[in-house]
């Protein structure tokens, strides 16, 4: 292992332990590391966006000798207009660029969400209850249909949740709770995995290098 690699390893271990130190007590080492992270991230983003957007996607295509895309100056100006938000008197100019962004984003998302998410998911919910794949598939299809209908009824507020509607809405709550439980379980697993990753680094990589 080179001197630089050892330095990076120890620095990484120090930063990890400094962040964990907050669990015992708020302290200045934790705040120092937190500030370093915030500053580094901001600097990294500025550098990356300058290179990947301003230079690669705007300046270079616009100024190249072979087939220059001169019309890119229009989105370039739109980008500059966003900075007028810094001066309250002229901030209205930024709304023109913002309106363009909102319009185009809404247009793209409407199609993709509808075509790619809503319709296929709806289609796969309209299941045949008597399934040719066997009893288990039929049983699951019944659960999906009951789950979807009862959950939707829970979110139907134009009729009081009493009688049949009330019972169905209550069933919907059960489906929602089971879904929350699954999400919570997976969330715990995810957070634990992150801790395991750090402990793995400390034990196997850092202490293992001694």
Partner 1 sequence: MNFWNKIDTLDRRWIYLLVAISVIVPFILPVKLPVYVTPETQQLYDAVENLPDSSIVMLTFDYYPSTIAETEPMSRVALHHLFRKNIRIVTVTTVPLGGPSMAEQVTREMAEQYGKVYGVDFVNLGYKANYVAVLKGMGSSIEAIYPTDNLSTPLSELPLMNEVKNYDDIDFIFVVADNGIVDYWISIVNALYGTPVGCGVTAVMAPKFYAFISAGQMTGLLGGMKGAAEYELLLGQPARATTGMDAQSLMHLLIIGLVLMGNIGYFVGRRQKGKKA
Where does this chain bind partner 1 (CB under 8 A)? Answer: 23-24, 41, 44-45, 48-49, 52-53, 56-57, 105, 108-109, 112-113, 115-117, 120-121, 123-124, 144, 179, 182-183, 186-200, 203-204
Cβ proximity to partner 1: between 68 and 204 the closer is: 204
State the nearest-atom distance from the C-beta of 45 to partner 1, in Å. Answer: 7
State the nearest-atom distance from the C-beta of 125 to partner 1, in Å. Answer: 8
Q: Give the integer Cα–Cα distance in Å for 150 and 55.
A: 53
Cβ proximity to partner 1: between 14 and 49 the closer is: 49
Residue 30 corresponds to which tokens in the numbers above? 């934790």
Q: Give the integer Cα–Cα distance in Å for 141 and 126.
A: 9
Cβ proximity to partner 1: between 91 and 179 the closer is: 179
> Could you tell me how many residues make up the chain?
210
Cβ proximity to partner 1: between 7 and 186 the closer is: 186
Residue 64 corresponds to which tokens in the numbers above? 């190249």
Secondary structure letter of residue 191 according to DSSP: H
Cβ proximity to partner 1: between 62 and 165 the closer is: 62
State the nearest-atom distance from the C-beta of 91 to partner 1, in Å. Answer: 24
State the nearest-atom distance from the C-beta of 173 to partner 1, in Å. Answer: 18
Residue 168 corresponds to which tokens in the numbers above? 């169905």
Helix axes 28-49, 3-20, angle to 10 degrees: 120
State the nearest-atom distance from the C-beta of 183 to partner 1, in Å. Answer: 5
Q: Give the integer Cα–Cα distance in Å for 151 and 199.
A: 41
Judged by phi (left if over 0) then psi (alpha if -120 to 50, else beta), residue 177 lies in alpha
Cβ proximity to partner 1: between 29 and 202 the closer is: 202
Half-sphere exposure of residue 91: CA atoms within 13 angstroms, side-chain side: 5
Tell me the Cα Rg of the chain. 28
State the nearest-atom distance from the C-beta of 161 to partner 1, in Å. Answer: 26
Q: Which residue has the tokens 């705040």?
A: 31
């Amino acid at each position: 292992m080179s001197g630089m690699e050892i330095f990076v390893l120890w620095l990484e271990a120090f930063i990890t332990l400094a962040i964990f130190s907050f669990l015992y007590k708020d302290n200045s080492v934790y705040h120092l590391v937190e500030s370093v992270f915030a500053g580094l991230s901001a600097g990294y983003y500025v550098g990356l966006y300058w290179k990947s957007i301003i230079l690669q996607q705007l300046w270079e295509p616009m100024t190249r000798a072979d087939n220059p895309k001169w019309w890119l100056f229009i989105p370039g100006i739109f980008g500059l207009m966003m900075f007028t938000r810094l001066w309250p008197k002229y901030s209205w100019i930024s709304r023109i660029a913002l309106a363009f962004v909102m319009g185009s984003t809404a247009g793209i998302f409407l199609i993709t969400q509808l075509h790619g998410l809503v319709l296929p998911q709806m289609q796969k919910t309209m299941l045949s209850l008597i399934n040719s794949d066997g009893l288990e598939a039929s049983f699951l299809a019944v659960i999906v249909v009951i789950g979807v209908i009862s959950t939707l009824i829970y979110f139907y507020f134009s009729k009081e949740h009493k009688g049949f509607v009330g019972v169905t809405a209550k069933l919907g709550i059960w489906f929602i709770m089971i879904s929350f439980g699954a999400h919570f379980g997976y969330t715990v697993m995810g957070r634990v995995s992150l801790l395991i990753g750090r402990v793995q680094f400390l034990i196997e990589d850092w202490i293992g290098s001694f």
